[in-house]
């Protein structure tokens, strides 16, 4: 009965190894190495050393053999029972052994008791888990920046747990989700592998659908000229789920990079727009000419003039009154994306007719009608006259001067009233 139990322990142990190999795709050499190391660790604990043991593992058949090698010494002269064997004991194994020869005898691991077998299981489980984590980390570390298709497995408040085609767990944090995304268990979604964290040897794959890298990879899939190296994506700015701007450059004069990326009637971006929850995509030509690049980034607005400060990466853009709202866009979206794309802080101003330039009043003169702290806040963004404030976009006053909309409206009403008198 005990022998049967021991045999079943061994078979069960090997079945575990084989299952691990099949499910985790560990190659044969690595599996053998892990098994052998696990056995040797336990043997070293039992005998003090594993140097004189041969461990033979056959994961394909699902069995293993252990042999202990000892040197034959004269009776009564055994100093180390692990590495030496008395002549009489050797002769009991094989009748023709002599002193000085090496005896190799099989070791029945089950004889060492249940504790040894349990110790082996724990050692192996630990090494298998460590190997699994290392394999997973190395696999996904090399795939950072690639798009994966994964199934939604669990939806939580702060993140979504997704499963890839090999049942590996991937995390899509709330901060990396497009606001309009809807996640239903069992549905598949695309995302880019943003990074792989490895805390305490526990790899954690982080996905993103808001990263510019995701949009870049989707474009590469839809536009073959990018993959062929004829067109390069130079910069991407995104407000996920709302709008995006992309700067592209062609290395072939015969290819229009904007037209190639958009496609006939927008057919190349339609799929991407749908994937990104109707995120509008603007494609512009990239150039190293800063003024021209800012002008293209602010399209569809038409710019009258630009003052560029390259040291501070700031630009003052002057437009006709009818183009100001186009440059700013709904909710300041267009100017925000243009600033992100060009990496310049862009301030928009209405162009003032020459006959009105001299008719201006310093803001400080309105201190009896406008609180001084409001005047100071407006002056801190470079506007110190009434006309300058009136020519500046309302959205800019709210955002950059950090004022309430109601306060800005009150200021504008006071200033307009002065010039209407």
CA 283 to CA 285: how far, in whole Å? 7
pLDDT of 214-230, one tens digit each? 999 999 999 999 989 99
Task: Name which of 231, 204, 334, 206 is nearest 286 in CA terms.
Answer: 231
> Right CATH number for 147-208 from 2.30.140.10, 2.40.50.140, 3.40.50.300, 2.160.10.10?
2.40.50.140
Cα dihedral 219, 221, 225, 230, rounded to 10, equals 70
CA 415-334-294 angle, 5° bins: 95
- What is the CA angle 397-403-406, rounded to 5? 95
Both tokens of 307, joined, read 């003052």
For range 341-355, the mean pLDDT? 80
Flag the least confident range among 13-22, 38-47, 185-194, 347-356. Answer: 13-22
From the CB of residue 371, how many other CB atoms can be counted at a distance below 10 Å?
13
**Residue 300: other Cβ atoms inside 10 A:** 10
Structural class in CATH, domain 354-420: mainly alpha
For the chain, the straight-line distance linking the first and the last C-alpha, in angstroms and rounded, comes to: 110
* Between 5 and 18, the higher pLDDT residue: 18
pLDDT at residue 6 in the model: 47
Tokens 């006071």 sit at which residue? 414
Percentage of residues in the chain having pLDDT higher than 70: 89
Q: How far apart are CA 411 and CA 383, in angstroms?
A: 13
- Is it true that domain 2-138 has CATH number 1.10.443? no
Summarised one tens digit per residue, pLDDT across range 9-19 is: 554 555 555 55
Share of the chain above pLDDT 90, in %: 35
Give residue 218's pLDDT.
94
Average predicted confidence (pLDDT) for the chain: 84
- The pLDDT of residue 15: 55
> What's residue 402's pLDDT?
83
Three-state secondary structure call for residue 184:
coil
Per-residue pLDDT band at 60 (split at 50, 70, 90) = low
What's the pLDDT at 20? 52
The predicted structure's pLDDT at residue 61:
66
Residue predicted with more confidence, 285 or 353: 285
Tens-place pLDDT, residues 114-135? 777 777 777 777 777 787 788 8
Mean pLDDT of 233-245: 94
Q: Which CATH architecture has domain 213-350?
A: 2-Layer Sandwich (3.30)
Q: What is the pLDDT of residues 71-112, one digit of tens each?
A: 888 888 888 888 888 888 888 888 888 888 888 888 877 666
- The domains of the chain are located at 2-138, 147-208, 213-350, 354-420
3-state secondary structure 322-347: HHHHHHHCHHHHHHHHHHHHHCCEEE
Dist. CA 156–CA 372, nearest whole Å: 48
Q: What are phi and psi of 156, to 5 degrees?
A: -115, 175
Stated pTM of the model: 0.68
pLDDT tens figures, 262-314? 988 888 999 899 999 999 999 999 999 999 999 999 988 888 889 999 999 99
Range 245-250 average pLDDT: 95
Q: What is the largest CA-CA distance in the chain?
A: 127
User: What is the distance between the alpha carbons of residues 364 and 361, in angstroms, rounded to a whole number?
Assistant: 9
Cα separation, 239 vs 248, in Å, equals 18
pLDDT of residue 357: 52
Least confident of 167-176, 237-246, 304-313, 379-388: 379-388
Indicate the pLDDT class of residue 4, thresholds 50, 70 and 90: very low
pLDDT tens string 375-386:
888 888 777 788
The answer, yes or no, to whether residue 204 has pLDDT greater than 80, is yes
Tokens of 60: 């394909």
Q: How confident is the model at residue 24 (pLDDT cuts 50, 70, 90)?
A: low
Quickly count: other Cβ atoms within 10 Å of residue 277's Cβ: 15
């Amino acid at each position: 009965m005990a022998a049967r139990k021991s045999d079943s322990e061994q078979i069960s142990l090997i079945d575990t190894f084989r299952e691990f190999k099949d499910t985790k795709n560990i190659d044969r050499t690595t599996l053998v190495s892990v098994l052998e190391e696990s056995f040797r660790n336990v043997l070293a604990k039992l005998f003090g050393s594993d140097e004189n043991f041969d461990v033979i593992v056959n994961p394909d058949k699902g069995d293993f053999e252990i042999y202990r090698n000892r040197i034959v010494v004269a009776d009564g002269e055994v100093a180390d029972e692990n590495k030496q064997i008395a002549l009489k004991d050797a002769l009991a194994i094989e009748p023709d052994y002599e002193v000085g020869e090496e005896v190799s005898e099989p070791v029945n691991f089950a004889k060492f008791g249940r504790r040894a077998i349990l110790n082996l299981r724990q050692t192996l489980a630990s090494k298998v888990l460590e190997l699994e984590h290392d394999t997973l980390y190395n696999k996904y570390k090399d795939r950072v920046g690639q798009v994966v298709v994964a199934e939604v497995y669990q939806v939580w408040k702060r993140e979504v747990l997704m499963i890839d085609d090999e049942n590996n767990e991937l995390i899509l944090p709330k901060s990396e989700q497009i606001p309009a995304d809807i996640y239903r268990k069992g549905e598949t979604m695309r995302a880019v592998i943003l990074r792989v964290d490895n805390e305490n040897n526990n790899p954690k794959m982080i996905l993103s659908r808001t990263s510019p890298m995701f949009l870049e990879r989707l474009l590469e899939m839809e536009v073959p000229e990018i993959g062929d190296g004829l067109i390069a994506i130079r910069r991407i700015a995104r407000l996920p789920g709302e709008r995006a701007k992309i700067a592209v450059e062609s290395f072939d004069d015969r290819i229009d990079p904007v037209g190639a990326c958009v496609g006939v009637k927008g057919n190349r971006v339609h799929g991407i727009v749908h994937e990104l929850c109707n995120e509008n995509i603007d494609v512009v030509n990239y150039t190293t000419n800063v003024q021209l690049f800012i002008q293209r980034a602010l399209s569809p607005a038409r710019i009258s003039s630009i003052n560029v400060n390259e040291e501070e990466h700031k630009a003052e853009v002057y437009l006709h009154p009818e183009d100001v709202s186009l440059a700013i866009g709904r909710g300041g979206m267009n100017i925000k994306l243009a600033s992100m794309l060009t990496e310049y802080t862009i301030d928009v101003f209405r162009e003032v007719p020459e006959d009105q330039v001299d008719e201006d009043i310093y803001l400080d003169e309105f201190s009896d009608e406008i609180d001084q702290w409001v005047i100071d806040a407006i002056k801190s963004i470079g506007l110190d006259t009434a006309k300058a404030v009136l020519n500046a976009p309302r959205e800019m006053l709210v955002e950059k001067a950090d004022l309430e909309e109601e306060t800005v409206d009150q200021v504008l009403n006071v200033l307009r009233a002065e010039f209407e008198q």
